[in-house]
Amino acid sequence: MLQPRSPREPEFLSQLADLAVDCAPVVAYGALVPPAALQVPRHGWVNLHFSLLPAWRGAAPVQHAIMAGDEVTGAATFQLEAGLDTGPVFGVVTEPIGATDTAGDLLDRLAVSGARLLVATLDGLADGSLRPEPQPAEGVSLAPRIETADAQVDWTLPAHVVDRRVRGVTPAPGAWTTWRSNRLRLAPVEPLSSSLALEPGELSIGSTGVLVGTGRGAVRLTSVQPAGKKMLPAVDWARGARPEPGERLGEQVGA
């Protein structure tokens, strides 16, 4: 198995040429393959990407599709070229996005259907029955890598947007907010059309659970993980934390 630090290494390029491979499949590879390497396999490099290209080109397509509220996504196989996910497409599969799907849920399903698509693509290249089609010029969107800072919850957003953003970063890097100057990690939340007059981030503890106000409506917390502790039901956390009336999530993290 070849595991170069970079596909630009001359030693890797020489080893790849010696193998005389027909095609090089790529899945979830985080670096651009240089032209010198792209030209080595007879059929080039085929990438399995988890979006319906040209939508969501980049490192985090599934996460961005959920956060944007897309109802359908999928996977595509395409010919690698110098641009970022710009090459012509061999085939696609579609996958509906459920109302409670997290990025982890969706990636698990796409890993199965995408693997079948990749095998079918390689078979089609081997027997000469498959030709790639250029991506359309319209409908391009970008899905850059999501960092930990991007996963902080903005409670001024509407409840349904908070829900989508939390699911989009679950399980990694994981949604979080702050509570009394410490980080508090959040499991997926439940958006509500609450009639409670709660300010963004304001907590309400009652018979319906632990509610948090947003820019419009409220969400119910399901489970939370205080710093240095395990994930636990939100009602158990609130019982120990004892929020004061009017206290809010989302203060500045302490130094």
**Hey, which residues does 209 pair with through a beta bridge?**
206
Mean pLDDT for 153-168 is 97
In this structure, of 17-31, 80-94, 229-243, the range with the lowest mean pLDDT score is 17-31
State the pLDDT confidence band at 1, using cuts at 50, 70 and 90. low
For the cut 80, the answer to whether the pLDDT of residue 253 exceeds it is: no
Q: Tokens at residue 79, please?
A: 């010919």
For the cut 70, the answer to whether the pLDDT of residue 255 exceeds it is: no
Tens digits of residue pLDDT in 99-131: 999 999 999 999 999 999 999 999 999 999 999
State the pLDDT confidence band at 5, using cuts at 50, 70 and 90. confident
pLDDT, residue 31, reads: 74
Mean pLDDT for 51-67 is 97
For residue 7, whether the previous peptide bond is cis, meaning omega lies within 30 degrees of 0, is no
State the pLDDT confidence band at 73, using cuts at 50, 70 and 90. very high
* Residue carrying the six token digits 């399980």: 171
- CA 2-6-10 angle, to 5 degrees, is 80
- Class in CATH terms, 10-127: alpha beta
Mean pLDDT for 204-228 is 95
Instruction: Read off the DSSP letter of residue 119.
Output: H
Domain spans of the chain? 10-127, 148-241
- Class in CATH terms, 148-241: alpha beta
For the cut 90, the answer to whether the pLDDT of residue 78 exceeds it is: yes
* Residue carrying the six token digits 């399995």: 48
For the cut 80, the answer to whether the pLDDT of residue 252 exceeds it is: no
Cβ contact 170:214 at 8 Å: no
pLDDT, residue 254, reads: 44
pLDDT, residue 250, reads: 94
Pairwise CA distance, residues 101 & 114, whole Å: 18
| Higher-scoring residue by pLDDT: 192, 30 | 192
* Residue carrying the six token digits 């991007």: 150
Pairwise CA distance, residues 62 & 1, whole Å: 28
Residue 144 CB contacts under 8 Å (≥ 6 apart), including other chains = 58, 59, 60
How much of the chain exceeds pLDDT 70, in percent? 97
Stated pTM of the model: 0.93
Average pLDDT for the chain: 93
Cβ contact 233:253 at 8 Å: no
